[in-house]
A and B are shown apart, each in its own frame.
Chain A
Amino acid sequence: MTAVALTGTAAPARSAPVLRLLGAELRWVLRRPRTLVMLGVFALVPVLISIGVATAGDGPGDGPGLIGAIAGNGLVLPVAAITVSLALLLPLAVAMAAADAIAGEAAHGTLRGLLIAPVGRLRLVGMKAFGVLVVAVLATLAIAVVGVVAGLVVVGGAEGQLVTLSGTVVGLGDALGRVGLVVLWTVGQLAAVGAIALAVSSLTEHPLVVLASVLGGLIVFGVLSAIPTLDWLQPYLLTTGWTAGADVLRDPMPLSGIAESTLRALCYVAVGGGLTIFRMLRRDA
């Protein structure tokens, strides 16, 4: 009798519908005012760049990185804005979401409720990772969509086309496909940052520790890659491949850099995800 009752209560509870879980996490992430403010800031990045480029006047401007290539060639804007933001701004957003996901809940004391809820630990980690990934996708898409619009409206495209860095001309559809590719690639890199951030988040109850370690880690990576005697270390650093985003502006498009950095990001995802699950399967509160 007791056995029947136990299985009777445990079975439906174990299989709480995945979609409902993900929906709950999505609402939880999107209802935070800071997430919405952050998305607004990301939408502002390409707008500000486009205004800066448009007021600077016609002709090839000189600016850092790809910014100089935007003038009169608006479809470069989304790629340039994503590349610029990938350095710190986008990882900051992802680290913030990951910090809130586990460490933040622990700080508020709400993690205990989640841990004793009838949801498997694996599923809990999957749910939290989904929330982080959604933030990464939304932030990147915000830059890309506003970037395309601002590029075409404020800067003005080269007859509605994209002039690649190689000096060839690519039509609007192809150019949008390239922007889509850079969005996918960026989400992959941000997933790597998010997985490491979740791993740190599962180890601490202080959200600030997550932010500090992720941003500090990125800065350390930057310093390490600037030291010539440590160049053997470069293939291990996630940030090494982050210049590959500009490759979509070349023609014919070289895919090796994008593929290699994506594989490296997947390795980071495996490390971060494995550590997070390893820790969360035993975490008490």
Chain B
Amino acid sequence: MATGRTGRIAAAGVAVAGLVGLGLLAAPAGAGAAPELPPVSPEDLVSSVLTADPGAFGGTVELDNALGLPALPGMPQASDGTSTARVWTDGDRRGRVQLPTSNGERTLVSDGQTFWAWDSESRTVTRVPEGEHPQGGPGGPDAANADPAAAATQLLAALRPTSEISVDGTAEVAGRPAYELVLAPAASERTLLREVRVAVDAEHRMPLQLTVLATGSSDPALQLGFTDISFGAQDESLFSFTPPPGATVEDGQAPEGRPGGAPFQGTEPTVVGDGWDTVVVATAPADAAAPGTGELDGDEPSLAQLGTPVSGPWGSGRMISTAVATAIVTDDGRIAAGACRSRS
């Protein structure tokens, strides 16, 4: 009977070990101790980021979106949730971005001369000669969204004048030691944002993670960062693309009028205020703002259907609130948007 008892204890131990293992798997990764790094001043860190050239790298980027934006057709990344992208770049003009979904994948490849876009669900390949492509860089606008390096660098340049910038310790991001650069709004700024944290790789001085925290919430409103990254030369075959058999190849056109002309047929937007409480005021194309008039394509979101109705001395319209920004669209087509709180 003694062996029976020890056997039962051992069996129970195995079962408990399984439960503990499940708990360990569920625990958030990277909860290790903060790495020790030589201290650096914020100015040095920011300028080293602005001048850094990380060279070739490949990795996985995860976007954790809790902005509370309304769902936009054709852009699953914009609505709340988690999405991932796999990115590779040779540090120069060539690059590859793969956006997996549960049943398919979109692949964007820039091989230096041609930009290829593959959509597995429609099995089409769109080919755009690189010279005509507006952004030129790896993957164009989609890559700029998915690449935390570009996103964080732009943000740093814009926020430097009105922000308190500090280096708040270190962290481990994607298995690499990183400095935590914190940008907080100056006390005079009235904004929905609490702080923006950028984790900067200690060695390559490349932003690895961008976290946007809003007031009144401990969870990030937006987190975009690498979950896995490797620096150094990448597999050459990643930077070329051959349309697979059975695919439809279309010659894409560079989007007309986008690079030079106005982004939409409204007046040029005016910027009111500066720093964190900047408000952008613009006039929307009349058919998009006025409810019931104009014919909208099915896949174009109508601004008139979003948000809650508001009115005031300025007229009436609809207010769209998200975790980090508020926008008001008036019935006569004016738009005001900024990272400010609504007064009501």
Residues from chain A with a CB closer than 8 A to the CB of B233 are none
Please choose the segment from A18-26, A143-151, A209-217, A259-267 that sits at the chain B interface, where 4 or more of its residues have CB less than 8 A away. Answer: A259-267
**Interface presence of B127 (CB below 8 A):** no
- Docked Cα-Cα span, A268 to B103, in Å, equals 26
Chain A residues closer than 8 Å to B13, beta-carbon distance: 274
- Whether B245 lies near A165 (C-beta < 8 A) is no
Asked if residues B11 and A167 are in contact (CB atoms below 8 Å), the reply is no
Closest Cβ of chain B to A203, distance in Å, is 13
The answer to whether B25 and A263 touch across the interface, beta carbons within 8 angstroms, is yes
Measured CB to CB, the nearest residue on chain A to B88 is A252
B11 contacts A250, C-beta separation under 8 Å: no
| Interface of B, helix, strand, loop or mixed by DSSP | mixed
11 A-B Cβ contacts within 8 A? A65-B102, A68-B121, A158-B244, A167-B118, A167-B125, A169-B245, A263-B21, A266-B18, A266-B21, A273-B18, A274-B11
* Chain A residues positioned under 8 Å from B190 (CB to CB): none
Q: Does B247 contact A (CB under 8 A)?
A: yes
**Contact string against B for A residues 224-255, beta-carbon threshold 8 Å, 1 for contact and 0 otherwise:** 00000000000110000001001000101010
Query: CA A58 – CA B105 in complex, angstroms?
Result: 21
Can you name the residue of chain A whose Cβ is closest to the Cβ of B119? A167
Docked complex: A132-188 residues within 8 A CB-CB of B: 158-159, 161, 163, 165-169
A270-B246 CB under 8 A given contacts A167-B118, A250-B98: no
Chain A residues engaging chain B, CB cutoff 8 angstroms: 59-60, 62, 65-66, 68-69, 72-73, 121-122, 158-159, 161, 163, 165-169, 235-236, 243, 246, 250, 252, 254, 256, 260, 263-264, 266-278, 281-282
State how many residues of chain B have any CB contact under 8 Å with chain A.
42
Q: For residue A272, which residues in chain B have a CB less than 8 angstroms away from its CB?
A: 15, 18
Is the CB of B296 closer than 8 A to any CB of chain A?
no
Contact A69 B103, beta carbon cutoff 8 Å:
yes
A263 CB contacts on chain B under 8 angstroms: 21, 25
Asked, given contacts A60-B123, A163-B244, whether A273 binds B14 with beta carbons under 8 Å apart, the answer is yes
Shortest Cβ distance from B227 into A: residue: A256
- Chain B contact residues, CB within 8 Å of chain A: 4, 7-8, 11-19, 21-23, 25-26, 60, 86, 98, 100, 102-105, 107, 118, 120-123, 125, 228, 235, 238, 241-247
Find out whether the CB atom of A271 lies under 8 angstroms from the CB atom of B98: no
Decide yes or no: A274 and B104 within 8 Å by CB, A163-B244, A235-B25, A235-B26 being known contacts: no
B22 and A274 contacting across the interface, CB-CB below 8 Å: no
| B245 CB contact (under 8 Å) in A65, A159, A250, A256 | A159
Are the CB atoms of B244 and A270 closer together than 8 Å?
A: no
B22 in contact with A246 (CB, 8 Å): no
Across the interface, do A167 and B247 meet the contact criterion of CB distance under 8 Å? yes
Cβ of B5 to closest chain A Cβ, rounded Å: 9
Contact between A274 and B15, CB atoms less than 8 A apart:
yes
Cα–Cα, bound, A137→B89 (Å): 41
Assess the A65–B244 pair: CB atoms within 8 A: no
Picked from A252, A267, A282, the residue with its CB within 8 Å of the CB of B19 is A267
Structural contact, A270 and B14, CB atoms closer than 8 A: yes
Contact A166 B98 (CB under 8 A): yes
Q: Which residue of A lies closest to B246 (CB)?
A: A72
Decide if A65 touches B103 in the complex (CB within 8 Å): yes
Q: How far is the CB of A155 from chain B (nearest CB, A)?
A: 11
Q: Which of A235, A254, A282 lies in contact with B4, CB distance below 8 A?
A: A282
